[in-house]
Amino acid sequence: MSSLSDIGTIKAIMQRHGFSFSKGLGQNFLVNPSVCPRMAEMGGANADSGVLEIGPGIGVLTAELARRAKKVVAIELDDRLIPVLDETLAGFSNVNVIHGDALRLDLAGIINDNFADCRNVAVCANLPYYITSPIIMALLESRLPVSSVTVMVQKEAADRICAPVGSRESGALTVAINYYSQPRMLFRVSPGSFMPPPKVTSAVIRMDILPEPEYDVGDEEIFFAMIKAGFSQRRKTLANSLTSGGFLSKEQAATALADADIPPNSRIESLSMDKLAELSVAIQKLCKN
């Protein structure tokens, strides 16, 4: 099989299978031959590892992962691509393609069933951008036994995820991701690297999963509810944003902020991870009293 990043090859495959791109499913396929090998190398594919891929498309990244990893499981939602993948990945005996929605499948079960003989498991994917945040959060929140998550996302999402917590560029997603992992920017990818080219620039990021969260936030549900309330009104002072949507009363917000030694006119975007954890614990103390 000639290179799966070759435009002529892709067109021939599409014609043979009567396939056309679905914008709704975020189908922009990589045609820059240098991107997939770099992603696979930097995404933790090696002789001992199992790799979970979400959205293989016609299998261009899957093939690079399969060349390096012990085993690859690729989950594809579009049923039209399953016969395509049967053809393009026929030369690899270490790939298992699963037809389904990555947001609905039991990923822990899939990892258990497929990667028992692998020393570690990594996620590596060129994500469909319409579900970037839910997919990343599903991977992190469910505490899957994976050591890293390397994904291509829109550059704006990558900048936000990799911004320091406590900076203007940070957001609720930045905090959540930094709670579970250590994110870092790997490299940018231009629109011309895809067919069809998207309107936005993309970037590949890697999140190394922490064995345990580094911050004691107390009850995680309350911590994340606080983050949601705070960032939903991020330009307001914390005294105001914490009362939004009825999360806390004015008195409760004032007491918790004083307890965590945070000036009431601070904004949530200026708080470090330490301070956010302290505030979360102060709120929980207050709920118990």
* Cα 276 from Cα 239, distance rounded (Å): 14
44 or 128: CB nearest ligand SAM: 128
Q: Which residue has the tokens 């992603």?
A: 39
81 or 95: CB nearest ligand SAM: 81
199 or 288: CB nearest ligand SAM: 199
60 or 256: CB nearest ligand SAM: 60
138 or 239: CB nearest ligand SAM: 138
* Cα 154 from Cα 174, distance rounded (Å): 15
| Paired strand residues for 149 | 123, 207
Minimum distance from CB of 139 to ligand SAM (Å)? 12
Minimum distance from CB of 213 to ligand SAM (Å)? 27
Minimum distance from CB of 244 to ligand SAM (Å)? 31
Task: Give the contacts of 251 (CB within 8 A, at least 6 positions apart).
Answer: none
Minimum distance from CB of 126 to ligand SAM (Å)? 3
DSSP string, 84-116: HHHHHTTT-SSEEEEES-TTTS-HHHHHHHH-T
User: Strand 148-154 relative to strand 71-76: parallel, antiparallel, unpaired?
Assistant: unpaired
Minimum distance from CB of 123 to ligand SAM (Å)? 12
Minimum distance from CB of 120 to ligand SAM (Å)? 22
* Cα 81 from Cα 75, distance rounded (Å): 11
Half-sphere exposure of residue 62: CA atoms within 13 angstroms, side-chain side: 29
140 or 175: CB nearest ligand SAM: 140
Q: Which stretch of DSSP H or E encloses residue 61?
A: helix 60-68
Minimum distance from CB of 60 to ligand SAM (Å)? 5
Q: Which stretch of DSSP H or E encloses residue 54?
A: strand 49-54
Residues near ligand SAM (CB under 6 A): 25-30, 54-57, 60-61, 75-78, 81, 101-103, 126, 128, 131
User: At CA 186, angle to CA 227 and CA 21, rounded to 5?
Assistant: 85
User: Strand 194-195 relative to strand 49-54: parallel, antiparallel, unpaired?
Assistant: unpaired
Minimum distance from CB of 130 to ligand SAM (Å)? 7
**Taking CB positions, which residue lies at the least distance from ligand SAM?**
55
30 or 229: CB nearest ligand SAM: 30
Q: Which stretch of DSSP H or E encloses residue 264?
A: none
101 or 106: CB nearest ligand SAM: 101
